[in-house]
Structure 1
């Protein structure tokens, strides 16, 4: 089967398409013919092996597994004990905290983070939800516990996670402000943002506005930068781990009423991820949320997909198709 491998840690050039053995499902697993997956900053971090703790999942000296975790496609075969799905069902989900989705086929437990794809939703759109949508809802609802009437600033509102965070925060009933560049202002406003700050023209820290939650969806800011923009008992939440955020987390637990928070959403329990993927499925089916696909790459162009993500200016989700 077609798959992606990396022979060492490094830049996009370490990746290569190759032919891997087709997996066989265990009695409680389904075999999925993957049609679409995604590439994002987390995939770049795994490729680079930085920060070092990611190597405990991918290999200490070099990558040992097929990358990628979000997927969408159809069920090709099922194990003998599977009752929830049948061959031919269109599904989407994630293998997290494991990987293997950048391949033609992947095996997933029947009771894993896996749902039926709503009718009318493409595999690319579903894969984006399984990746960035799931990350966004875990941060907005599970970590921040955002409530109706609260205010939230989404930094990186036009990116993969940010586009979903804006929609989910608006759905909750929060007052949403998005931060993005000029070319993405209309997009972010169309997703439900009440206000949009163009960072190329305005320093968001100088607007004088304050928020209950500041969600740094691209991890380019810091607690020190956004601290004075937080309301009392406010939270600065980031998707990117660093020594700085870990120090701020420890310090703000002891001092003051504003909190710095990082959460490894990929390490949430399967039960939690399943709960939120099911909610996303319902929101996708009802049209309450939509995927923003920035670019699509065939798996043969996996290097170009990673180079695009590494620019740090990705619009929506970067999708990899596997035909």
Structure 2
């Protein structure tokens, strides 16, 4: 089989495509033939080893794990002896959470606890787009943001990989959604269900007069003083993902200075089967859909990583894995 690896930290240019033996599943694993993968900020942060604190776990001077990639959709080819929930031929999707593995490959061996059967009415590309980004939106809005029906949420970065799901999921939760995006993405935000759309190229957030129960900042550029003014008393500002340590530090300081009149939290999503089942229901019912900006062939994966890192993708960046079989 073929898979991408890297031997050092750096940009997409350090990725190389090599040939490896097809892995064999352990008793609690599935062997999955990969059909599609998505590229996330997590991938290029891991590729570059930034922010540098993550190197404490990933390897100080060079990465411990040569493989990259997390989101996958594919077909079960073989199951371990302890597997009871899946069988060969099942179409599945989920997240790679194994040490020494990555999704940027033609085959992966994975534990069943982070996987679900793919909804039959969506493609492998649409399924691969969802795990990290959609679960980030679900857990951020529901668990960390405490969003309730009837409340008002401001989604900053509404056209990004996480943001496109956040708009749809917030609407499915019964919230009033104000989406922030650029001019050429306004129509998309409206189609996804946003009640109001702010074009940040024309209206600065500081000019808004509305008050929100939750600010879902998927970009990391909403200033603390603006968040303070826009939030209702007791409201929450949620910084999604990395967001930059300097940005987080400013918010923490601002939160102290205002005497905790508003809540601040930041997080990264954690895969679990209950939330993956909920995501499957949302996707299969059509309550949410995956927005795909660009698709790349497997041999173009470094270009896909570069495009995602550039930060202008409207939705998800997908790589379709090569169809031909390769000998082991």
Return 70-79 or 34-43, whichever deviates more.
34-43
Distance in 1 (alpha carbons) for counterparts of 2:98 and 2:312:
25
Aligned to 2:30: 30
SS of residue matched to 1:257: coil
Question: How has the CA–CA distance of structure 1 residues 250 and 263 changed in structure 2, closer, same or farther, with 3 Å as cutoff?
Answer: farther
Which consecutive aligned stretches of 4+ in structure 1 deviate over 6 angstroms post-superposition?
Answer: none
Return 2-11 or 247-256, whichever deviates more.
247-256
Alignment of 1:23-172 (within 5 A): 23-63=23-63, 64-96=65-97, 100-110=102-112, 112-172=113-173
Alignment of 1:192-271 (within 5 A): 192-239=193-240, 240-241=242-243, 242-246=245-249, 248-249=251-252, 252=255, 255-265=259-269, 268=270, 270=271
SS of residue matched to 1:147: coil
1:245–1:261 CA contact under 8 A, matched in 2? no
Return 215-224 or 226-235, whichever deviates more.
215-224
Q: TM-score, normalised by structure 2?
A: 0.92
Aligned to 1:281: 280
1:32–1:105 CA contact under 8 A, matched in 2? yes
SS of residue matched to 1:24: coil
Residue 253 of structure 1 and its aligned partner are, at CA, apart by 6.5
Residue 286 of structure 1 and its aligned partner are, at CA, apart by 0.7
1:180-213 per-position Cα deviation (integer Å, ceiling 9, x unaligned):
1111111111111000001111112212122111
RMSD: 1.8
Aligned to 1:293: 292
Residue 57 of structure 1 and its aligned partner are, at CA, apart by 4.3
1:105-161 per-position Cα deviation (integer Å, ceiling 9, x unaligned):
111112x11110111210110011112111111111121121001110111101100
Distance in 1 (alpha carbons) for counterparts of 2:107 and 2:60:
25
Structure 1: give runs of 5+ residues left out of the alignment: none
Aligned length: 317
1:156–1:218 CA contact under 8 A, matched in 2? yes
Question: How has the CA–CA distance of structure 1 residues 303 and 256 changed in structure 2, closer, same or farther, with 3 Å as cutoff?
Answer: same
Distance in 2 (alpha carbons) for counterparts of 1:253 and 1:22:
53
SS of residue matched to 2:312: coil
1:253–1:259 CA contact under 8 A, matched in 2? no
SS of residue matched to 1:141: helix
Residue 5 of structure 1 and its aligned partner are, at CA, apart by 1.2
SS of residue matched to 1:219: coil
2:220–2:247 CA contact under 8 A, matched in 1? no
Structure 2: give runs of 5+ residues left out of the alignment: 323-328
